[in-house]
Amino acid sequence: MTTHTPDTSTVGASTTATVPLFVNRAEVRVAADPETVYALVTDLGRSGEWSPECTGGAWIGEPAQVGSVFRGENYRAEDVVGWAPLIRGEWTTEAEVVVARQDREFRWAMRDKETGRTQLSVWGFVVAPEGDGSVLAHEFQMDEPTEGIRKITKDMGEQGRSRFIVEWGEKIQGDLVATLDRIKEILEKR
C-alpha cells in the first residue's frame, strides 16, 4: 500500500514566502532488496515506465553520479491544473544529480533553462531495507519559486498564486503516489 504524507504547512503560501514552497513525500513497501530498487530508480532513462510526466530521456555523460546531468523528455496534458498557464504538450528539462548514496538515496535538482544552474527544486528517492524487502520513498522539495513557477504566477494576484500553489502541490503529491505504485508493480513482476 502506498502512503503519502504531504506537508500542509505551505498550503496557501505565497510565492514570496521564506518557508519551502513545496514539501511532498510518499512511500511504499516493495518486495525487492535495496540494491535492486536503487538500480531501477537511478535508471532515469526508464522514467517513462513510471512517471506521470517524464516520458524518458538520456544521460549527458556518466549516468547516476553526483554532477551527472539528465535531459528529460516530458509531456503534460491540457487538463493538468487547466486554468493555469503551464507548459502543455512536450518539453525537455535538465536535471543534475546532487546526491547518489549507493542503495540508499538518489536526488536530482532541476536546472534553470537560461543559466544552467541548479535550482532549489529537488526530486529524490530514499531506499531503506525492511524485512525481506524495502521501503521506497519518493520526495520533492522546492525551497523557493523556480524560473518556471515565477513565469506561471507572474500575472496572478495573491489569491491566484495561493490557489495555484495548493493545486500544484496536490498534483505533485498525486504524481509521487502514482510513480511509486508503478515502480512497485515493475519491481514485483520480476
Classify residue 103 by its DSSP letter. Answer: T
DSSP state letter for 13: -
Tell me, what's the pLDDT at 85? 87
Task: Give the pLDDT score at 4.
Answer: 43
Burial class (CB in 10 A: 0-12, 13-18, 19+), 66: middle
What pLDDT is recorded for position 190?
64
- pLDDT tens digit string along 101-124? 999 999 999 999 889 899 999 999
- pLDDT for the residue 121: 96
pLDDT of residue 11: 38
Is the distance from CB of 49 to CB of 41 less than 8 angstroms?
A: no
Q: How confident is the model at residue 10 (pLDDT cuts 50, 70, 90)?
A: very low
**pLDDT at residue 8 tops 90:** no
Domain regions of the chain by residue span:
2-188
> What residues contact residue 48 under an 8 Å CB cut-off, 6+ apart?
54, 55, 56, 73
- Above 60 in pLDDT, residue 15? no
**Average pLDDT for residues 58-70, to the nearest whole number?**
94
HEC secondary structure over 41-95: HCCHHHHHHCCCCEEEEEEECCCCCCCCEEEEEEEECCCCCCCCCCCCEEEEEEE
Residue among 69, 46, 48 at smallest CA distance from 59: 69
> Could you tell me which CATH class the domain 2-188 is placed in?
alpha beta
Mean residue pLDDT across the chain: 90
pLDDT digits over 135-176, tens only?
A: 999 999 999 999 889 999 999 999 999 999 999 999 999 999
pLDDT band of 87, cuts 50, 70, 90: confident
